[in-house]
C-alpha cells in the first residue's frame, strides 16, 4: 500500500535516567517525523537539559504528560508501581505504550496487550529483554511460522560479568561482585541479579512470546550464583565446561505446561553460551523447523536499550500493525523438572566411607555416577570434591541431595548445578 | 487497531524443490488462514504429491499460476531468469512477492520494491540471506533506530563446512569439498560457493538493508577459498586465529560509498566468527548506538529457509506494513580498501636472500612486518613460510605483492589473507 501521509508521531517520555536520556538523544537524530513533546521525571527542575528542543514540556505529573496530545507513551521509570498504572492510563486513552519494564510485562503483558487491542493502540516491549538485541521481534515475526520448543539464554549481564571475571582470573565471587559494582555493572543491592529475579522476569517474557504461555515470574525456580567458587570453574574445566547463569524454558512435554529455571549451570566450552563474555547477552531459540537460532549483543546500558525502545517507537510511527494479540494460556505452576546431567560439589570433613555413603544414596534413587573428581591439596577437615552424575530428573536429584545433606560429614551444604549438554 | 476480518490469504508457489516442499509442509501446519492454492513446477506430473490438499492447482504455466486469484506469489525457482520476470509480472498485478532468491534481490531488489510500493503490494526476501536466521527483519525493524556502520558474516554454509572440516582434521581442500558434495552441502559445480559469488550476492543484500546502498554484487571483490591449505590452519593457529570465508561491508568513510569484500580471512579464535561450525551462518552488525549484535543459525536447507519464507507470508497475511521503501543510493564502484593486518604465505625454492628481498619490498611500501613464521621439515625446493604484516591498506599490499610476485623464487604464487582483529 502507498505511504499514507501522517502528522508527526508525538512521543511522551516518563523517566529521564540513563535509558531515558539515550532515547531522547536517539530520537533527536532520527530523520523520521517523530517528535519528543514531553518528559516526566521526579524533581524535574534538576533533570532539565539544554540539549533538548525548548518546546519539550517538562513535568512531574502523569496527567500533564498524557495531556500533551500524545501518540506514544514511553515508560522508562521501571518497577511495578506506578509504571503499570501509568501504562494502563495511557492505553485506556488509546495512546500506544513502549516500555523496557520487564517486571510489568512479565506480570501484566497479556492484559495490557489486550487493553491495547481493545483501544486500537499498541504495546511494545523489545527493550525489556536483552537490551538492544531484537529478540522479541525475531520470535514474534521472523520465526512466526515455526513452532518453538525451547528458549535459553544469558539474560543478566551482571551475573555474566561476575562469572566471566571469575573464569578469567580465578577471582572470588565477592571480589568479582565488588568490581562489577565499581564499574556500574551491579547495583548496591545486587540480589535481583545474583539470585535470578531479574533473569526469571525476562524468561517469563520470552515464554510469553515464544510459547504463548503466561506464567508468574515468581513461579520460576531460581538459584543464586553466590555459591559459585573459583574451584567450581577448575572442576567445570576438567569436564570441558564453564559456568554461566542460564535461564531456560521449554514447552515440550505436557501441552500447556511450562518447564523453566534460572541458575548457575555448567555449559560445554564449545557451546555458544560459553562464549558470552562480560555483560553481553545471548538468547538461543529452538524451533521444530528452523533448528537453533541465536541472538547476541549488548544486553543492558542506555544506548543499546534505547535502540530497542526507539525501534519500537519507529514501528508505531511507521504504522506497523500491532504484534500478535493471540490469547495466552495462563499457568500458575511452572515445573523445574529438567532431566539433565548434574555437577555436585561436596565439602566434607573427611573420613573413610563418605564416597560409599553418597554412592549408596544415589544408587537407591537410580542416579548413575559419571565421575568423581578430587583435586589434591585441601585439608582433611574441609575437603572439596565433585561428583558428576548422569542425566536424572531434577526432582529425583533433589530428593537424593536432601537425604545426603542430612548426613553428618558436610562442612558446606552440597552445591548442585545442571550440566547443559 | 482491532483485527480486521480477512479472507484467507491465497498463496501460489513457483518451485517445488527442497525449499518449496518445506514451505508447502509448513503452510499446512500453520493455524492461520493461509491457503496454498497453486504450485508451479517444470514437469509437474512428476512433482505432484499426495500430501497436499487435492484442491491445489498444479501447473507449468506462470499465467495459469497467477490467474488463481492469488494474494502472495512465492518464488523459489532461483536464478535470475525467468524468476525476475515472474516477480515483475506478479507485482505489476498487485500480487505480493516472497522470495529467497539472492541473485534477483541483489540486482533488482530496489526496483522490485519500488514496483511493489507503486502497486500497493509487498516484496519480502528474508530467506535470501542466512536461511532461517531473521537478520533482514532484525536490521530493517529491530535495529531501525540505529545507524549501522558495519555488517560482517559467514554467509556461505558450503565454505564454512569445508573450512571447519579442514580445521578439525587437517583435511585437504579437495577432500573436504568432496565430502561436502557427498553430504549434499556442495553442488557438483561448487564455484559459486567456493569463489565467493554466493556470499557476495548476500552481502550486497545486507548492504542494501543495512546502509541503503545498492551496489552490483559483481563489483564486490571476492577471493576463492580453494587456495587455503591445511598448513594455513597451522600457521593461523600460531597467530591465535582460524580461517573462515568472511563477507564484510562498511559504510564508514566517504558518505555514499561502500567498502566490501568476500574471501578467506584469519579470525581470532575468540571471535564469534571462529565459533561458527559446519554449515551454520552468522551475521554481526555494528551500530553507532547499539554496538555489535549477532544473529546465528542454520543458513541453508529446506526447513530453515522455509521458516523465513513462511514468516514473510504470515507478515503479509497479518496485514503487516511493507518494509521501508526509502530510496537507495546506487553505487557502481565498490572499494575493497580495508586497512587490516595481513597474513601472506610464500612457497619458495629456497636460497639465501629471499627474506631480505621480501622485506625490502614491504619496507619500500611502508608495510611493517609483524612476524615471520616458518615450520621446519619442508624440502628446500618447495618451502613454505608465512609473513604476518601490520595493518596496511589493501591496495598498498596488493602493489607490494605484485612486485614480490614478479621475483623468481616462487613455486606457488604468494597467498594473502586479511586478519580480522
Domain ranges in chain B are 9-128, 135-296+327-335, 339-418
Q: How confident is the model at residue B47 (pLDDT cuts 50, 70, 90)?
A: confident
- pLDDT (average), residues B82-101: 98
Which DSSP category does B142 fall into? I
- pLDDT for A287: 95
Residue A1 touches chain B, beta carbons under 8 Å: yes
Question: Does residue B287 sit at the A interface (CB-CB below 8 Å)?
Answer: yes
| Contact state of B289 with A295 under an 8 Å Cβ cutoff | no
pLDDT at B55 over 70: yes
Provide the CATH number for the domain formed by B339-418 in this structure. 3.30.70.260
Q: How many CB atoms lie within 10 A of CB B381?
A: 10
Q: Is B117 on the interface with A (CB under 8 A)?
A: yes
Sign of CA dihedral A301, A304, A310, A311: negative
Distance from CA of A166 to the nearest CA of B (A): 18
> To which residue does cell 504484534 refer?
A323
- Residue-wise pLDDT for A263-286, tens only, equals 999 999 988 899 898 989 999 999
Closest residue in A to B286 (Cα) is: A297
Fold adopted by B9-128: Rossmann fold (3.40.50)
Collapsing DSSP to helix, strand or coil, B327 comes out as coil
Phi, psi of A196 (to 5 degrees): 95, 0
Residues of B in contact with A30 (CB under 8 A): 145
Position B1 confidence tier, pLDDT thresholds 50, 70, 90? very low
Q: Is B124 on the interface with A (CB under 8 A)?
A: no
- The yes-or-no verdict on residue B5 having pLDDT over 70 is no
Chain A segment 240-279 residues within 8 A of B by beta carbon are 270, 272, 275
With an 8 Å Cβ cutoff, is A286 touching chain B? no
What mean pLDDT is predicted for residues B140-147?
Answer: 92
B26 inside 8 A of chain A by CB: yes
Res. B314: pLDDT tops 90: yes
Please give the share of chain A, as a percent, with pLDDT higher than 70.
Answer: 98
Task: Residue A287: list chain B partners with CB under 8 A.
Answer: 132, 307
A202 given a catalytic annotation: yes
Q: Is the pLDDT of residue B45 over 80?
A: yes
**To probe the interface with A, which of B113, B120, B134 has the most A CB atoms within 10 Å?**
B134
pTM comes to 0.92
Q: List, by residue number, the catalytic residues of B.
A: 202
Any chain A CB within 8 A of the CB of B18? no
What number of H helices and E strands is found in chain A? 14, 19
Which CATH superfamily, name and number, covers B135-296+327-335?
A: Dihydrodipicolinate Reductase; domain 2 (3.30.360.10)
For the segment A193-215, the average pLDDT, to the nearest whole number, is 96
| CA B274/CA B168 separation, integer angstroms | 12
CATH architecture for segment(s) A135-298+331-335: 2-Layer Sandwich (3.30)
Largest distance between two CA atoms of chain B: 82
List, for residues A22-34, the tens digit of each pLDDT value.
999 999 998 888 9
Query: For residue B347, which of B262, B419, B407 has the smallest C-alpha distance?
Result: B407
Handedness of CA A142, A148, A153, A156 (dihedral sign): positive
Closest Cβ–Cβ partner in B2, B147, B290 for A117: B2
Q: How far is B100 from chain A (nearest CA, A)?
A: 14
| Residue B112 grid coordinates | 522490485
Q: Which residues of A touch B293 (CB under 8 A)?
A: 132-134, 295-298
Please tell me whether the peptide bond between A241 and the residue prior to it is cis, using omega within 30 degrees of 0. Answer: no
Place of cell 540480589: A191
Q: What pLDDT is recorded for position B255?
A: 67
Does B325 sit within 8 Å of A321, measured CB to CB?
no
pLDDT > 70: what percent of chain B?
Answer: 98
CA distance B219 to chain A (A): 30
Least confident of B181-195, B212-226, B319-333: B319-333
A340 by DSSP, 3-state: which? strand
Closest CA to B133 of B328, B335, B305: B305
Average of per-residue pLDDT across B221-228: 97
- Gap between the Cα atoms of B234 and B256, Å rounded: 40
Q: Is the pLDDT reported for residue B233 higher than 90?
A: yes
Enumerate long-range contacts of A160-163, CB under 8 Å, 24 or more apart: A160/A244, A160/A245, A160/A276, A160/A277, A160/A278, A160/A279, A160/A280, A160/A281, A161/A185, A161/A186, A161/A278, A161/A279, A162/A186, A162/A194, A162/A225, A163/A225, A163/A228, A163/A243, A163/A244, A163/A245, A163/A264
> What is d(CA B99, CA B19) in angstroms, rounded to the nearest whole number?
11
pLDDT category of residue B238 using cuts at 50, 70 and 90: very high
pLDDT digits (tens, 9 = 90+) for B248-290: 999 876 667 899 999 999 999 988 899 899 989 999 999 999 9
A291 and B304: CB-CB below 8 Å?
A: yes
Give the long-range contacts of residues A360-368, CB within 8 A, separation 24 or more: A361/A400, A361/A403, A361/A404, A362/A387, A362/A389, A362/A400, A362/A404, A364/A400, A365/A392, A365/A396, A365/A397, A365/A399, A365/A400, A366/A392, A366/A396, A367/A392, A367/A396, A367/A397, A367/A400, A368/A392
Give the mutation candidate from A4, A290, A323 for the B interface (greatest B CB count, under 10 A). Answer: A290
Mark which residues 327-346 of A lie under 8 Å from B by CB.
Answer: none
Decide if pLDDT at B2 tops 60: no
When the pLDDT of each residue in chain A is averaged and rounded to a whole number, the result is 93
Is residue A150 classed as helix, strand or coil in its secondary structure? Answer: strand
Predicted local distance difference test score (pLDDT) of residue B319: 87
Span A386-402, pLDDT tens digits: 999 999 999 999 999 99
B3 contacts in A (CB within 8 Å)? 117, 325
* DSSP bridge partners of A415: A345
How many contacts, defined by CB atoms under 8 Å, are there between A and B? Answer: 175
Hey, is the C-beta of A370 within 8 angstroms of any chain B C-beta? Answer: no
Q: What local confidence, expressed as pLDDT, does residue A173 receive?
A: 97
Please report how many Cα atoms fall inside a 13 Å half-sphere around the Cα of residue B35, on the Cβ side.
16
Structural element, H or E, at residue A85: helix A83-92
Nearest CB to A145 within list B2, B314, B322: B314
Q: Is the pLDDT of residue A345 over 70?
A: yes
Cβ–Cβ under 8 Å, residues B361 and B400: yes
ipTM of this complex prediction, to 2 decimal places: 0.89
Report the first-to-last Cα separation within chain B, whole angstroms. 48
Cβ-count burial A65-103 (b if 16+ within 10 Å, e if not): bbebebbbbbbbbeeeeebbebbbbbbeeebbbbbbbbb
Mean pLDDT over residues B340-366, rounded? 96
In the block, cell 560482517 appears at B152
Tens of pLDDT, residue by residue over A68-127, are: 899 999 999 999 999 999 999 999 999 999 999 999 999 999 999 999 999 999 999 999
Across the interface, do B294 and A296 touch by the CB < 8 Å criterion?
Answer: yes
Q: Which region holds residue A377: left if phi is over 0, alpha if psi is between -120 and 50, else beta? A: left
Among B25, B33, B145, B314, the strongest candidate for a mutation testing the A interface, having the largest count of A CBs within 10 A, is: B145
A121: chain B residues, CB-CB within 8 Å: 1
The minimum CA-CA distance between B280 and chain A, rounded to whole Å, is 10
Which site among B25, B33, B100, B142 would you substitute to test the A interface, given the most A Cβ atoms closer than 10 Å to its Cβ? B142
Q: pLDDT-based confidence at A237, cuts 50/70/90?
A: very high
**Cβ–Cβ below 8 Å for A310 and B138:** no
Helix boundaries (H) for B77-130: 83-92, 102-118
CB atoms within 10 A of CB B393: 15
Contact partners, residue B63, CB within 8 Å, separation at least 6:
none
Amino acid at each position: 500500500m502507498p505511504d499514507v501521509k501522517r502528522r508527526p508521531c508525538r512521543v511522551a517520555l516518563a523517566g529521564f535516567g540513563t535509558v531515558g536520556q539515550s532515547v531522547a538523544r536517539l530520537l533527536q537524530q532520527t530523520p523520521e517525523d517523530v517528535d519528543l513533546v514531553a518528559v516526566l521525571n521526579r524533581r524535574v527542575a534538576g533533570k532539565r537539559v539544554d540539549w533538548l528542543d525548548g518546546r519539550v514540556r517538562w513535568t512531574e505529573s502523569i496527567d500533564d504528560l498524557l495531556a500533551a496530545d500524545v501518540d506514544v507513551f514511553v515508560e522508562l521509570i521501571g518497577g511495578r508501581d506506578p509504571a503499570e498504572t501509568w501504562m494502563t492510563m495511557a492505553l485506556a486513552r488509546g495512546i500506544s505504550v513502549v516500555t523496557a519494564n520487564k517486571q510489568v510485562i512479565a506480570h501484566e503483558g497479556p492484559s495490557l496487550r489486550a487493553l491495547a487491542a481493545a483501544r486500537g493502540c499498541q504495546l511494545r516491549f523489545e527493550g525489556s529483554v536483552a537490551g538492544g538485541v531484537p529478540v522479541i521481534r525475531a520470535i514474534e515475526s521472523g520465526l512466526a511460522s515455526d513452532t518453538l520448543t525451547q528458549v535459553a539464554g544469558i539474560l543478566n549481564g551482571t551475573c555474566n560479568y561476575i562469572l566471566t571475571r571469575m573464569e578469567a582470573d580465578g577471582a572470588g565471587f565477592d571480589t568479582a561482585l565488588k568490581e562489577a559494582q565499581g564499574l556500574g555493572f551491579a547495583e548496591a543491592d545486587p540480589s535481583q541479579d545474583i539470585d535470578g529475579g531479574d533473569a526469571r522476569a525476562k524468561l517469563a517474557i520470552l515464554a510469553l512470546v515464544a510459547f504463548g504461555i503466561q506464567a508468574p515470574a515468581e513461579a520460576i525456580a531460581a538459584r543464586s550464583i553466590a555459591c559459585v567458587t573459583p574451584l567450581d570453574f577448575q572442576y567445570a574445566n576438567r569436564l570441558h565446561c564453564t559456568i554461566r547463569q542460564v535461564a531456560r524454558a521449554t514447552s515440550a512435554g505436557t501441552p500447556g505446561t511450562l518447564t523453566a529455571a534460572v541458575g548457575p549451570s555448567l555449559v560445554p566450552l564449545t557451546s555458544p553460551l560459553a562464549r558470552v563474555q562480560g555483560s553481553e547477552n545471548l538468547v538461543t531459540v529452538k524451533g521444530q523447523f528452523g533448528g537453533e537460532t541465536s541472538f547476541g549483543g549488548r544486553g543492558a546500558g542506555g544506548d543499546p536499550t534505547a535502540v530497542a525502545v526507539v525501534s519500537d517507537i519507529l514501528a508505531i510511527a511507521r504504522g506497523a500493525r500491532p504484534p500478535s494479540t493471540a490469547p495466552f494460556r495462563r499457568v500458575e505452576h511452572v515445573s523445574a523438572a529438567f532431566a539433565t546431567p548434574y555437577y555436585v560439589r561436596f565439602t566434607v570433613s573427611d573420613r573413610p566411607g563418605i564416597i560409599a555413603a553418597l554412592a549408596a544414596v544415589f544408587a537407591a534413587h537410580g542416579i548413575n555416577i559419571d565421575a568423581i573428581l578430587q583435586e589434591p591439596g585441601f585439608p582433611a577437615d574441609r575437603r572439596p570434591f565433585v561428583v558428576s552424575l548422569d542425566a536424572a530428573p531434577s526432582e529425583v536429584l533433589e530428593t537424593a541431595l536432601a537425604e545426603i545433606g542430612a548426613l553428618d560429614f558436610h562442612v558446606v551444604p552440597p552445591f548442585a548445578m545442571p550440566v547443559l549438554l
